[in-house]
Structure 1
Amino acid sequence: MGIKPDTVTYTSDYFDYLYDMCVRMIKEGHAYADDTDQETMRDQRWKGIASARRDRSIEENLRIFTEEMKNGTEEGLKNCIRAKLSVDNPNKALRDPVIYRCNIETPHHRTGTKWKMYPMYDFACPVVDSHEGVTHALRSTEYTDRNPQYQWFIDTLKLRQVYMWDFARMNFIRTFLSKRKLAKLVDTGKVWGWDDPRMPTIRGVRRRGMTIPALRDFILKQGPSRNVVTMDWTNFWASNKKEIDPIAPRHTAITKKDAVKVLVKGADAPAEPIKQEKPKHPKNKEVGTKQVTFANELIMDQADAKSFKDGEEITIMGWGNGFVRNIDSSAEVIPTLEIDLNLAGDVKSTEKKVTWLASKGQTLVPAELWDFDYLITKDVLQEEDNMEDFLNPVTETMEEAWCDEASATLKKDDIIQLERRGYYRVDKGLNDWKEGEEKKLVLFCIPTGKTGSK
């Protein structure tokens, strides 16, 4: 996102402070050690039954926490520390939540094996927020039931107040945002990683081609609403198109598969290839210029050629009109055709405007054109739904193509528009390959916000 924080902090920076706060809670009678097995504890909390350990003495609780749990002894491992809030509050988040638990199996990624027990999120969050000087805790509405618990820790420990602001999490159709489910996709190889362009992560949408200004604008327009809604991706990508359309250089690509060879004839046809300086953007001169090669040998897309009729006048984009000659429209695959140039023709009078590339006089650039689909087939997954049942079997497609010579200078993260194809982000430029690897452009199609865009 380009955001540079003044400081990056971790909860583990405050493990000593949190330990002291827990000791204080025990001393003041607000927490107790409990060795009830998890299944029984879960059942008691659900039914509003007090633990048999709830009335342990302060001395016993302190001993277990500071000696047994701290050292990860056999007795310590059996215990956890619970805050003494309520036994049967209708809000189950307030029923004596666990605030410390032992873990000696996995060393902490920052503190190693120094600690044998660790604070739970519900305890660490309000204590650290207050300690660090947080003024407003921004919390999604899924934590609303826990807000009284957050406030209880601050009030009980007499800490500096923190103002809580709830907002609804943003949901999108045919997308899940659960980190657990997304991690499963990564771990099972269903996607390339957390930055896969199909992933609903910041890195994912950025790799897909979302710009930072458009992302910021979209989020600000949504506002901190408390209403839970499931949005279409249309507005998300439409905001991006507004950013990239005025500045994206125009280039041309012709798919390699069944590319049609075109022989250009007529008085206007160049005997030898010529190059002309043309603007990269028809409406924005500041984008710069590129060299376009004109020659009497071209390639066009098979789909375009299949639509031609012999004798039909078409417009060769960026050049002029021409008449189609010597084409067998009934053929399953059209290998070649001829065009009789008619540069005096009116480009407004033709029905078909087609892209093309000169096949001689320039070095065409090989490219991969990637497009992506939704990861799941259902608009909204329910809690009881099995994710695997709704995974989209095909979520990526790739076509090999030739691009114009000017595209050879494109770099990773450049955004371009391929004429008549759409917008693309450069995932790899020609200089992003290792020695010995085949050099080619790797281009990811950017959705535009049109209905049905992915």
Structure 2
Amino acid sequence: MSRRWYSHFESLDFTRAVIQSVADAKAHKARSNKTAASFALGLQGAKEGQVVTRFPPEPSGYLHIGHAKAAMLNQYFAQMYKGKMLIRFDDTNPTKERTEFEETILEDLALLDIHSEIVTHTSDYFDQLYDLGIQMIKSGKAYADDTELLQMRDERFKGIASKHREDSIEDNLKHFAEMKTGSDEGVRWCIRAKISVDNPNKALRDPVIYRCNLLPHHRTGDKWKIYPTYDFACPIVDSLEGVTHALRTNEYRDRNPQYYWMIEALGIRPVHIWDFSRLNFIYTLLSKRKLHWFVDTGRVTGWDDPRFPTVRGIRRRGLTVEALRQFMLIQGPSQAVVSLEWDSLWTMNKKIIDPVAPRFWAIAKDGVVSVTISGGPADVEVKTLPKHKKNPDVGEKKTVFSSKILIEQEDALSFDDQEEITLMDWGNAFVRSKTTDSNGKITAIELDLNLAGDFRKTKKKITWLSAPTPTHPLIPVTLLDYDYLITKKKLEENDDVKDFVTAETEFREEADADANVQDLKKGDIIQFERKGYYIFDGPAENGSLHFIHIPDGRAASLASKATPGAATPVAVAPKPAKGGAAIKDGSKSSTGTSDTPVDTKMYAVDKVYGDEAVETPVDPKMYKVTNVYSS
């Protein structure tokens, strides 16, 4: 008796919820402990109240998810040691940089709740950098070189000294002065640090520290015709600005000795370097050059395109700042260089949005079915219902009830004659008749309302909308979903991005939604029940409201739709069959038929065992069950 009682008690929804909450709490504690432990090593030589970190983006593009990790780690350590973080724009290349990018980077950082009392520019130090460049030449630690680029690259690779490496200090100063004027003669030359010719670490083979650029600078105009390289300017400005710890991705590790050499050669205050792994995701480009190519060729709508890994792109796709912050801190100061899956990040995001996302309904226009309900209200009725059944704080919505409703074609196809179904937020009904056209599509259905029916006994819970009237219209919406921009999980160094561009990456589904969606503001996150989570992207020119599908972390919503053998790209994420709801991905339900006369938008998959019956070599002593799909 006691065993039956415990089994019954464990089956209750309340008990399951408590058990799940305890499991979640343990998992969160484990993650938190792991994160705390990973940061416990801290920063070398760090002293509370004296730590200064910096985030130095180049204003040549928009921040992407990799930059977000760097910015968040810099802020985390500054706060951990009760220090401060500087934001410094590394603006030493007029060819790429624009004021527009500075403004958007600051806006993106604000979106991530990252702020700094001080915002500086490398260009603030151009005069001091120039003086230090002269100091390097006078001390014999730098020289002018006019070797052609390809030849210089080849000589560095082979460990061959430049023909100008032993030129006199006077000649080197003369060429540097000529470079400063931007003359035809001056632009031929560059300044190289005199470190090594054949060091095994090629980053130490006399790197360029100054070069000419005649384009106007977005802050200093035409004042300068010469600009320091990042490798020269970064350690100097870090030292001048009081940075104590320079956080860099470990792709710079070979250049760390170069960083220290510059500081030692100039005799300025030293800075600690702290490495962490670069963030990489599958099917994702973080190269600014490659991202620029997608923008410039019109393959995306801009830097905030939902297919982009920019901060604006992923925010527009529906990723919350809290999910991003939690994810970055869980990654911590790991040194492992891996290509991460997107699933854990989107799963984390779902846990944040699910408890607060209001629920609405949308019905696909393609093949919409008109339904007449016997026993329904004689006139249109409007009732107030909660936007979220489990969270009344989300608010209330108006739901229209009438004897004429609309449902989706896929739901209608799954109905058996005389089957009892559940109309969500209303009650049960029996399917009394179905009308089909010559193509096998259902055009009309008649239902008998059965409000005394038990929704727990029905297999299908159906979303629906009351047929529109002049006083109670439906709102046209466009549901957008996206594929990865590239078809290869990880591009290699020699891969040309043009060879791996996904042919089709945007998928649209036209639908009608209940009128409650008119009250949404751009950026609001909702759930269209049985379709998934969406973020409101604003109205389109045709008046339709655009909603972008938010991945929920499940494999079906994240799989590349460019997989070879796919018959048709997936238009929208499959609808869950939770609670017995009809399966909405085009696969066969227990009561449906296999010859569905509509496009299911699913991949064509060969049968595992072919068309032949599978013979069982021994008697399994199991119940004999007839094929549920047989005709």
TM-score (norm 2): 0.69
Q: Is 1:449 aligned to 2:559, yes or no?
A: no
Q: What is the letter of the counterpart of residue 453 of structure 1?
A: S
Shift in Å, 1:44: 1.5
Q: Is 1:399 aligned to 2:506, yes or no?
A: no
CA displacement 1:88-125 (0-9 Å, x = unmatched):
11101001111001122x22222121111111111011
Which of 140, 146, 156 in structure 2 is aligned with 1:35?
146
Contact 1:310 1:328 in 2 (8 A): no
Contact 2:435 2:444 in 1 (8 A): no
Distance in 2 (alpha carbons) for counterparts of 1:123 and 1:273: 74
Aligned residue runs from structure 1 range 129-148, under 5 A = 129-148=238-257
Q: Is 1:370 aligned to 2:474, yes or no?
A: no
Q: Is 1:61 aligned to 2:159, yes or no?
A: no
Contact 2:435 2:443 in 1 (8 A): no
- RMSD between aligned residues: 1.4
The equivalent residue for 2:528 is 418
Which of 386, 389, 407 in structure 2 is aligned with 1:282?
389
Shift in Å, 1:8: 2.1
**Stretches of structure 1 lacking an aligned partner (at least 5 in a row):** none
Q: Is 1:22 aligned to 2:133, yes or no?
A: yes
CA displacement 1:330-382 (0-9 Å, x = unmatched):
96211111111000001011111110001145221111100111111222222
Q: Is 1:439 aligned to 2:550, yes or no?
A: no
% identity of equivalent residues: 57
Shift in Å, 1:170: 1.4
Structure 2 SS opposite 1:53: coil
Q: Is 1:305 aligned to 2:412, yes or no?
A: yes
Contact 1:85 1:95 in 2 (8 A): yes
Q: Is 1:107 aligned to 2:107, yes or no?
A: no
Distance in 2 (alpha carbons) for counterparts of 1:448 and 1:348: 26
The equivalent residue for 1:335 is 443
Structure 2 SS opposite 1:298: strand
Q: What is the letter of the counterpart of residue 173 of structure 2?
A: L
Q: What is the letter of the counterpart of residue 359 of structure 1?
A: A
Aligned residue runs from structure 1 range 152-167, under 5 A = 152-167=261-276
Moved more, 144-153 or 121-130: 121-130
Shift in Å, 1:390: 1.7
Structure 2 SS opposite 1:13: helix
Distance in 1 (alpha carbons) for counterparts of 2:370 and 2:310: 43
Q: Is 1:239 aligned to 2:343, yes or no?
A: no
Which of 332, 336, 340 in structure 2 is aligned with 1:223?
332
The equivalent residue for 1:344 is 452
Q: What is the letter of the counterpart of residue 186 of structure 2?
A: G
Distance in 2 (alpha carbons) for counterparts of 1:450 and 1:176: 22
Contact 2:436 2:444 in 1 (8 A): no
Q: Is 1:260 aligned to 2:366, yes or no?
A: no
Aligned residue runs from structure 1 range 375-394, under 5 A = 375-394=485-504
Distance in 1 (alpha carbons) for counterparts of 2:351 and 2:250: 31
Shift in Å, 1:40: 2.0
Contact 1:30 1:83 in 2 (8 A): yes
Distance in 1 (alpha carbons) for counterparts of 2:239 and 2:447: 75
Distance in 2 (alpha carbons) for counterparts of 1:35 and 1:171: 38
CA displacement 1:211-245 (0-9 Å, x = unmatched):
01111111111112111011111001001001100
Shift in Å, 1:329: 6.5
User: Which structure's relative contact order is higher, taking Cα pairs within 8 Å and 6+ residues apart?
Assistant: 1
Moved more, 168-177 or 326-335: 326-335
Structure 1 SS opposite 2:442: coil
CA displacement 1:398-429 (0-9 Å, x = unmatched):
01111111111011000000010000000005
Q: Is 1:295 aligned to 2:368, yes or no?
A: no
Q: Is 1:86 aligned to 2:196, yes or no?
A: yes
Structure 1 SS opposite 2:486: coil
Distance in 2 (alpha carbons) for counterparts of 1:360 and 1:176: 45
Which of 189, 196, 207 in structure 1 is aligned with 2:298?
189
Distance in 2 (alpha carbons) for counterparts of 1:182 and 1:238: 26
Moved more, 310-319 or 1-10: 1-10
Contact 1:309 1:329 in 2 (8 A): no
Shift in Å, 1:453: 2.3
Distance in 1 (alpha carbons) for counterparts of 2:529 and 2:319: 19
Q: What is the letter of the counterpart of residue 238 of structure 2?
A: D
Shift in Å, 1:154: 0.8
Contact 1:83 1:97 in 2 (8 A): yes
Contact 1:308 1:329 in 2 (8 A): no
Distance in 2 (alpha carbons) for counterparts of 1:241 and 1:422: 10
Which of 391, 404, 423 in structure 2 is aligned with 1:316?
423
Which of 74, 77, 91 in structure 1 is aligned with 2:187?
77
Q: What is the letter of the counterpart of residue 421 of structure 1?
A: K
Which of 466, 470, 481 in structure 2 is aligned with 1:358?
466
Shift in Å, 1:7: 2.5
Q: What is the letter of the counterpart of residue 535 of structure 2?
A: R
Distance in 1 (alpha carbons) for counterparts of 2:193 and 2:136: 8
Which of 428, 432, 442 in structure 1 is aligned with 2:538?
428
Moved more, 381-390 or 248-257: 381-390
Structure 2 SS opposite 1:406: helix
Q: What is the letter of the counterpart of residue 399 of structure 2?
A: V
**Stretches of structure 2 lacking an aligned partner (at least 5 in a row):** 1-111, 559-631
Q: What is the letter of the counterpart of residue 542 of structure 2?
A: E
Structure 2 SS opposite 1:59: helix
Shift in Å, 1:385: 2.2
CA displacement 1:294-349 (0-9 Å, x = unmatched):
11111111110111122111000110000112204796211111111000001011
Distance in 2 (alpha carbons) for counterparts of 1:265 and 1:92: 81
Distance in 2 (alpha carbons) for counterparts of 1:315 and 1:135: 64
Q: What is the letter of the counterpart of residue 409 of structure 2?
A: Q
Contact 2:382 2:400 in 1 (8 A): yes
Q: Structure 2 vs 1, CA of residues 389 and 40 (structure 1 numbering), >3 Å: closer, same or farther?
A: closer
The equivalent residue for 1:180 is 289
Q: What is the letter of the counterpart of residue 441 of structure 1?
A: L
The equivalent residue for 1:97 is 207
Q: Structure 2 vs 1, CA of residues 393 and 78 (structure 1 numbering), >3 Å: closer, same or farther?
A: same
Q: What is the letter of the counterpart of residue 448 of structure 2?
A: D
Q: What is the letter of the counterpart of residue 425 of structure 1?
A: I
Distance in 1 (alpha carbons) for counterparts of 2:493 and 2:165: 34
Contact 1:295 1:360 in 2 (8 A): no
Contact 1:309 1:327 in 2 (8 A): no
